[in-house]
Amino acid sequence: MKEHARQARAENRIVGLVPTMGALHAGHLSLIEQARRECSPVIASIFVNPKQFGPNEDFAKYPRAFESDREKLQRAGVDSLFAPEPADIYPHGFSTYVNVDGLSDRLEGRSRPGHFRGVTTVVMKLLQIVQPNFAYFGRKDAQQSRLITQMARDLNLDTEIVVCPPVREPDGLALSSRNIYLNADERKAATVLYRALDAAKSELAAGVRDALQLQAVLHRTLGVERHARVDYAEIVDGESFESVVRVAKPTYILLAVFIGKTRLIDNLYMEPKSPDSEELVFHF
């Protein structure tokens, strides 16, 4: 892979990388489309990274669909697929990790200790191997893309991190490889994440800026759904991911909710229309 990517760079081509864990859906394909608009070649990777799963998480049963993924990538016009084995990425004796302090410990990091250290380590390795001009990530995983952007800045990487909007089902559910774990009842219940974000958005559009009031709306909506158990529902600053008391600057509403045994995350991003405007622009 290094040789292959080096060759493309030597030809002064614009190399794009789209890292994934496979079980590809339209969300992944939207990243590839974006990459294709800006880069040639586009390289996709599939690697279910053992180091970002906790001991009681779903690494062993994480959906794997290599052949159909390969076909999807081919049809999407990807130039190369990098699909290493765990032993290629973490050979015997591997002992160097990348960690983004602070940001890694909150929210997802608190619920999933060690998760982000695994993510930033593998992404750093993929970026080192391919050394792409651009690498594409989904804002569906808001904290993850924020961390990777921070890592790229802190470590002076030559790769520009591009963050792309989430792709959703018609009923609002954000696409996720884990949605296939949901049974029919849970699939219906899973729209509660989007419904809660939308309810909060209505309050915000009506002028509510108080975080506690917004959290109450989130919990009220989520609480009605009997399959849902809230892990967190937070209103955070768009840069630091620390809780805010009032929405005034770029802000995320972040949700992590168990639907049955399946843990789903979603978010709503908002920013003032202009620097001193009270009006917000929303990004689902």
Query: Footprint of ligand AMP on this chain (CB under 6 A)?
Result: 20-21, 27-28, 30-31, 137-138, 140-141, 164, 166-167, 174-177
Q: In the bound complex, what is the minimum distance in angstroms from residue 103's beta carbon to ligand AMP?
A: 16
**Between residues 62 and 90, which has the closer beta carbon with respect to ligand AMP?**
62
Q: In the bound complex, what is the minimum distance in angstroms from residue 221's beta carbon to ligand AMP?
A: 21
Q: In the bound complex, what is the minimum distance in angstroms from residue 18's beta carbon to ligand AMP?
A: 7
Catalytic residue among 4, 25, 28, 92: 28
**Between residues 21 and 129, which has the closer beta carbon with respect to ligand AMP?**
21
Q: In the bound complex, what is the minimum distance in angstroms from residue 137's beta carbon to ligand AMP?
A: 4
> Which of 93, 114, 105 lies closest to 51 in space, CA to CA?
114
**Between residues 247 and 256, which has the closer beta carbon with respect to ligand AMP?**
256
**Between residues 109 and 166, which has the closer beta carbon with respect to ligand AMP?**
166
Q: In the bound complex, what is the minimum distance in angstroms from residue 174's beta carbon to ligand AMP?
A: 5
Count of beta carbons in the 10 Å neighbourhood of residue 41: 20
Eight-state DSSP code of residue 62:
S
**Between residues 29 and 211, which has the closer beta carbon with respect to ligand AMP?**
29
Dihedral Cα 68, 31, 82, 182, nearest 10 deg: -50
Question: What is the spatial distance between Cα 56 and Cα 38, in angstroms, rounded to a whole number?
Answer: 39
Strand pairing category for 160-164 and 42-46: unpaired
Strand pairing category for 280-283 and 262-272: antiparallel
Strand pairing category for 251-259 and 228-237: antiparallel
Q: In the bound complex, what is the minimum distance in angstroms from residue 7's beta carbon to ligand AMP?
A: 25
Give the pair of three-digit tokens for residue 134.
């651009």
Instruction: Decide if 283 is catalytic.
Output: no
Question: What is the spatial distance between Cα 57 and Cα 119, in angstroms, rounded to a whole number?
Answer: 15
Question: What is the spatial distance between Cα 258 and Cα 199, in angstroms, rounded to a whole number?
Answer: 19
**Between residues 190 and 244, which has the closer beta carbon with respect to ligand AMP?**
190
Enzyme catalytic residues: 28
